[in-house]
Structure 1
Amino acid sequence: MQLFASGRDQLLRFWHHGRHRLPVADALRGGVICVAPAVLAAMLHMPLLCWSAIAAFWTCLADEPGRPGFERHCKGLVFGVAGALASACAIAAHALPVLSIAVVGAVAYVGASVRARGPASGLRGLLTATACSVSACFPAHGLDAATHYAVFYLIGCVWATLAGGGLWQTSRTKRAQQATLAYLYAMSSLASRLGQAAHGNRAQLEHGRAELRTKLDAMTVAVANCNGDAPSACAGWVHDAEQAMALLAGLETLLAGGHDAARREAAALLAPAYGQLAAQIDASATRLRNGSSAFRGAVEQCQARLQQTLRACEPAWLATHGSAEGLTWLRANLDLVERLSVLLAREARMDAAPGIVAAPLAAPRKRPRQGQLTALIAEFAAQNAYTRYAARLSVAAMIAVSLARFSGMQQAYWLALTTMFILQPTLSQTVKVSGLRIGGTLLGAVLASALSLFVHDPLLLALIVLPLATGTLAARTVSYVSYILFLTSHFILVAHLGTPVGTPWALAVARIEFSAAGVLVGFLVSLFAWPDREHHRLGSSAAGAIEGTAAYLEAVAGRLAQPAPREPEALRKLRRRACLEIDKLEATIAATRFESLVVNQQAACASVLMQRLKTLVGALCPLEYVNAMLNDADLARLAELAQNAQALITSDASSADIPPSRGFGATPQASSCHAREIEREVSESACVAHLLRSRVLR
């Protein structure tokens, strides 16, 4: 019942606050583009137009709406020509199975290798390879069939490219607002999770701040692309984002360190405050969305309720516990929550924040034309993670096409389609995506079958593609399962219109069967073909996390020791670097758990080390903004503390060259409650990291 209530609350909260961050206009434009060829296929009884509908959808999927129009058109046309040629080659060689499969393998290798040029290029390369693999499974052969399929594929891509730039466009200002709303929703979600953790659900702390950092980067880019025309509120959120991140990191660290009974009871008193903090952020998002005059005073009212709750926490604690252990921890939390609340409600950000002008982008450095082809061939042949992934994808594509051709069924192209999408650069990623895809496929097959059960008119079925295609493009930013749910329903209906052989129920069952076979092919290839295991990277990932954390600790010590404040930009960059390195270590540990069937002692030690490094950064980063409230003695103690922690985590447990630490192991004597909690957290975490370092970096 509690799980059901939690899921219901999350859905309601997403509906009220989260849906506004979705690119609905872009998704609806893509849905209209995708439904047009499907409607024509139903009206003109031309099944090949469904291949154009698929090509149009893939073009919309690979489009980058935020980029300049000329660049989008060029990339869309190149993508269409490449997909048409790859599809034509696969169908033309259909009579010679060995040649057709070899073509699929070559196109898959090249398409996967393009991933080294960036995620957008990688998606286009993967979709081009998928078009080739799917075409090789079609029951068509000969030059005439190859020409027809290539022409219809190119028509779909050209239509999507031209319509994507010619239909309604979302302004840069609107994109900046959507990116800011996405950031606010992620921040309020983090505050809500902190409230659940304060209630005792410590598993909520495992989500971390990685998603919030991603949204912050997207917001910064979107606001900068406005060239100074971004709304003042959006620019203000960018201006205050790093400070909000630092305060949230400090709060998360304090909650994660509150293991004893006294701190757990104090956390229960703070739980309502986190819920009210999330409500204040949601009120700010509503104000940003509807204008400052629409909900005047809503943010201030939320802040007033939060301040009232914070003022009642300490008297409630003193009434039951007195000045027992836990009061210092409670005061440290109250201080950070109050500062964060004041920061988030600052009127200057909402109405009078200065615009952020994007710096002019440097012109891309042109490569010399001489030897460009040679360099490209050398890039494809280089020995790196991307080429190993390309080799695995090539092998998997050839196996999937061979099995599809061997089965002789018209719907066997689902096998190749699934294999191409679930195979990832590492085994752990493949396993994760495979499970999500099977779940989304089952739900999508049920949805498509239910729709076809009540709708028998082909034209009406084609029109239903509009909400499904729109949902597919919009759900990409929500979750992979919801994305696959809409994608499966969309593809099943389009396939039924293109090859109206059998009932949609039969199509759905075939989709599930061949998807399961495709998942199996992808998993076996990832397991046995040049496996790229993550546990080999544990040592290097841990070394990077330690190095990044040590650099940040050294910078914090230098900043606290300086009598005059310095420009904090360098410190923020070091903090961001440390956080990204810790996130990389965390991802490597999670991947190692997928790969290992037994307990991995190194991974277990790395997990504890990662948590301690995260604590070191989270405990000290609020000092970037609240050190003005500390006296000189506390600043000197914390500067020495950070310096000693840096020395500890960069030396092995057997090293005798560790500087003496006045703060480690001693009773805290700092006057500030927050400074005392920082001493406790940093001292303990640095010592544990020092002991685990040699075990992880072996």
Structure 2
Amino acid sequence: MFGHFHRRAKHAANRRLNTLHALADYVSRRRPVWMVSFAMDETNLSEGLRAACASTAMLLLGYLLHNPLFAWAAIGAFWTCLADAAGSNRMRFASMLSFALLSTLCGGITAFASGAGALAATVAILLFSTAGALARVWGAAASQVGILAATACVVMVDKPLHDAREALAFLAIYLFGCLFAVVLSLTVWRIHPFGPSRNALRAVYGRLADIALDSARLLRQETADFGHWARHAATYRGQARAALETARKALAKVPYARSGKRETYENLLLALADTERLFAYLIAVTDACERGHHTLHEPRRAARILSALAEVMLRIGRAVSEPNDKPVVDDPATTRAALQRRLQKLAGALETALGEPLALKLRATGALEFEPAPRREAVWWQAAADNLARAFMTLKANATLQSIGLRHAARVGVAVTAGFIIVRALHLPFGYWATMAILLILQPSIAATWPRSIERAAGSIAGGLLAAAIGFAIHSPIGISLIVFPLVCATMALRPVSYSLFVLFLTPTFVLVADFATPGASELIYALTRLGNNVLGCSIALLATFVLWPSREPIDFRTRLADAVAANLNYLVGALEHAGGEDIEVERLRRAAGLASNNAEEAFNRLRLERLESSLADRAAITALALLRRVAGTATRMRFATNQARADGALIDWIAAVNREIDAHLRGTTLDANYAAFARGHLSLAEADAVNQIAQLRRLLVEEPANLNDRRS
């Protein structure tokens, strides 16, 4: 009886979660243009609760001890949670402890320099901001620690220290907050070794559900045309491929001791293989929906089935993310098996509704082909020695003016120092908010800095209004301590969702913590001051991006496009040679085609952001990239079609010849080619679609060469 009621409650909860997912997808499609990303499924409540507990505990301790310096302990705890690198507990401990020690040491030096005078403070800011930005050359984890440590320096410069006793008390309290967050993260809030992998796989199922939901939405729209389906393919397929690659990396980071001895690891690999198969199946399905959008006999039924598929995939994702040590009534493995059977039934019904023989096959032969090579972790001292040696070689390789990392570090150092000089010259209160904005906004390329600055400005405006509203309602230190808890929780939980939302909740958090450290001042003044300083920091960051050794897209877009054309046409040839069958090599070709299309689309988007204008070349590039997505869809449809026969050699040879011609033209090499249209009389519907797509692609890229002439970096 208990099991029956438990299952009913869980089904109701699943329905509510599926509704929330659909709502999040609706909001994501209609989000403001300045909000670059919005992935609500990636909300990390556990991370938010951990940071909130660490920061709020420090504020409450400061309240009990009547010591406002504990506001710095709260800030240190929050920053330490931000410095937490994903991966093994060893990696997490190393990143968090490194930040705690570096920020205390460098921040203390900066505070002492500030006490010695403006010149010493300026030198310290220049040195530590440059060093923090240079950490990017050693990877994402080192970059995160370096930038956060530099952030501590630009904040502590407004806390000048003059004597050793004062400094010892201040830095001890700050370090205590950092170490408290480290202990809390590695004891109470330990991350399960398979936790990141499970969450990554859940995100993949969420992206696959988005494909099905948006396809259903387009099927219900009578006005959906080539442009709508092209945007669907570029957005949702790109997100799914990116999520799949993230899941691969997460599985590759599982410690060897866990991957070699746990059955869970093999189950996660099988789940990853299932997501690849589901992704390919959905590509084939959406391609069939697009081709027959106006001729399908049962488009409404197909849309309903696609929505049901999305709900089942979301439930599978939640089951995958649950540990296997559940009670029998809630066994995740049993739940996944039942849901997969449900998927197969829905796929059969969808095949009838579409009128196309597209069969879904899960747990295919060669599923474990995706298994990353296990690696043994060395003892800590050997690993440290190896890391130091690699770090030195990386630094040596970047010790040149041609290094993007070195130019970026110099740009950050000069911009932050200029911002510091400006706020000191103008005697702006809380000037570190401007320098902190410069540090966190500046990226190596123009295309990355521009949208980040817009998001930060927008988030700061909304956050300032929120801070002012909270300030009018709450005045006591205990009230401030308690309201900081949900704000920090939202800040950290929504950090993976959107940078705008992260800044929105970060703003009132810092305003209220500053109010705790300096009681009696007006929260509205704090909010307005932060807003003005953020705008100043954004302006300086943008100016530095365009003036100080600007780094633009380093690779000619035509090269990226040539890679994408070659990868997609190679996949098409592989699909024709193995139509209706299974082959590991064709799976590799499909993955390579998706990655190449993503790379080309990302390079194109970066170039558009750098130019801040549209042209004929943009329209030609968009059309070419959309055609490549169509080619991949047609190829996948052939692979899943149960009645598709192997293509004749003449068609395969023709595709290969056109591939060589387009590749030579885009790369600027010479090739004698005598193009002739391929006869379509004996082709199947999918083969005829492929020939039409390739002919359009060739006409766009070869016969109209002026289309892409100005699309270079």
Structures share a fold, TM > 0.5?
yes
Give 2:597's aligned residue: 582
Distance 1:298 1:14 in 2: 27
Distance 1:461 1:562 in 2: 65
Cα distance change, pair 680–639 in 1 and its aligned pair in 2 (3 A): same
Give 1:49's aligned residue: 70
Can you give the 5+ residue segments of structure 2 that lack an aligned partner in the other structure? 1-18, 29-38, 323-329
Q: Please list, as runs of the form range in 1=range in 2, the aligned pairs for 1:15-30 lying within 5 A after superposition.
A: 22-30=43-51
Deviation at 1:61, TM superposition (A): 0.9
Q: Percent identity?
A: 23
Please point out which of 486, 502, 506 is paired with 2:505. Answer: 486
Give 2:534's aligned residue: 515
Could you tell which deviates more after superposition, 584-593 or 560-569?
560-569
Distance 2:288 2:673 in 1: 27
Matched, 1:181 2:194: no
Q: Kindly provide the amino acid, as one letter, of the partner of residue 278 in structure 2.
A: A
Matched, 1:86 2:127: no
Deviation at 1:185, TM superposition (A): 1.0
Deviation at 1:433, TM superposition (A): 1.0
Cα distance change, pair 480–255 in 1 and its aligned pair in 2 (3 A): farther
Distance 2:692 2:610 in 1: 36
Could you tell which deviates more after superposition, 606-615 or 57-66?
606-615
Please point out which of 406, 411, 436 is paired with 1:392. Answer: 411
Cα distance change, pair 692–298 in 1 and its aligned pair in 2 (3 A): same
Q: Kindly provide the amino acid, as one letter, of the partner of residue 504 in structure 2.
A: L
Q: Kindly provide the amino acid, as one letter, of the partner of residue 207 in structure 1.
A: T
Please point out which of 617, 634, 643 is paired with 1:619. Answer: 634
Q: Please list, as runs of the form range in 1=range in 2, the aligned pairs for 1:523-672 lying within 5 A after superposition.
A: 523-534=542-553, 537=554, 540-551=556-567, 553-554=569-570, 556-557=572-573, 560-561=576-577, 568-569=584-585, 571-623=586-638, 625-626=639-640, 629-632=643-646, 634=647, 636=649, 638-652=651-665, 657-658=672-673, 660-661=675-676, 663=678, 666-671=679-684
Matched, 1:194 2:215: yes
Deviation at 1:293, TM superposition (A): 5.7
Q: Please list, as runs of the form range in 1=range in 2, the aligned pairs for 1:361-440 lying within 5 A after superposition.
A: 361=375, 376=395, 379-440=398-459
Could you tell which deviates more after superposition, 614-623 or 552-561?
552-561
Please point out which of 60, 68, 72 is paired with 2:92. Answer: 72
Give 2:13's aligned residue: none
Give 1:311's aligned residue: 352
Distance 1:426 1:457 in 2: 44
Please point out which of 469, 488, 499 is paired with 2:488. Answer: 469
Q: Kindly provide the amino acid, as one letter, of the partner of residue 280 in structure 2.
A: A
Cα distance change, pair 287–157 in 1 and its aligned pair in 2 (3 A): closer
Deviation at 1:429, TM superposition (A): 1.9
Deviation at 1:393, TM superposition (A): 0.9
Give 2:686's aligned residue: 674
Output the TM-score relative to the length of structure 1: 0.82
Give 1:115's aligned residue: 136
Could you tell which deviates more after superposition, 137-146 or 591-600?
137-146
Q: Kindly provide the amino acid, as one letter, of the partner of residue 284 in structure 1.
A: I
Distance 1:295 1:566 in 2: 23
Distance 1:660 1:385 in 2: 42
Could you tell which deviates more after superposition, 226-235 or 496-505?
226-235
Is the Cα contact below 8 Å between 2:137 and 2:398 reproduced in 1?
Answer: no
Q: How many residues align?
A: 650
Deviation at 1:587, TM superposition (A): 2.2
Give 2:56's aligned residue: 35
Cα distance change, pair 7–628 in 1 and its aligned pair in 2 (3 A): closer
Is the Cα contact below 8 Å between 1:273 and 1:310 reproduced in 2?
Answer: no
Is the Cα contact below 8 Å between 2:597 and 2:628 reproduced in 1?
Answer: yes
Q: Kindly provide the amino acid, as one letter, of the partner of residue 61 in structure 1.
A: L
Matched, 1:684 2:700: no
Is the Cα contact below 8 Å between 1:230 and 1:355 reproduced in 2?
Answer: no
Please point out which of 128, 142, 149 is paired with 1:128. Answer: 149
Cα distance change, pair 229–57 in 1 and its aligned pair in 2 (3 A): farther
Can you give the 5+ residue segments of structure 1 that lack an aligned partner in the other structure? 1-5, 314-330
Give 1:318's aligned residue: none
Deviation at 1:462, TM superposition (A): 0.9
Give 1:242's aligned residue: 276
Cα distance change, pair 257–136 in 1 and its aligned pair in 2 (3 A): farther
- Give the RMSD, CA atoms, in angstroms: 3.8
Cα distance change, pair 475–296 in 1 and its aligned pair in 2 (3 A): same
Cα distance change, pair 133–681 in 1 and its aligned pair in 2 (3 A): same
Deviation at 1:255, TM superposition (A): 6.0
Distance 1:186 1:503 in 2: 44
Cα distance change, pair 66–132 in 1 and its aligned pair in 2 (3 A): same
Output the TM-score relative to the length of structure 2: 0.80
Cα distance change, pair 575–390 in 1 and its aligned pair in 2 (3 A): farther
Q: Kindly provide the amino acid, as one letter, of the partner of residue 599 in structure 2.
A: K
Is the Cα contact below 8 Å between 1:104 and 1:397 reproduced in 2?
Answer: yes
Cα distance change, pair 380–144 in 1 and its aligned pair in 2 (3 A): farther
Distance 2:92 2:319 in 1: 33
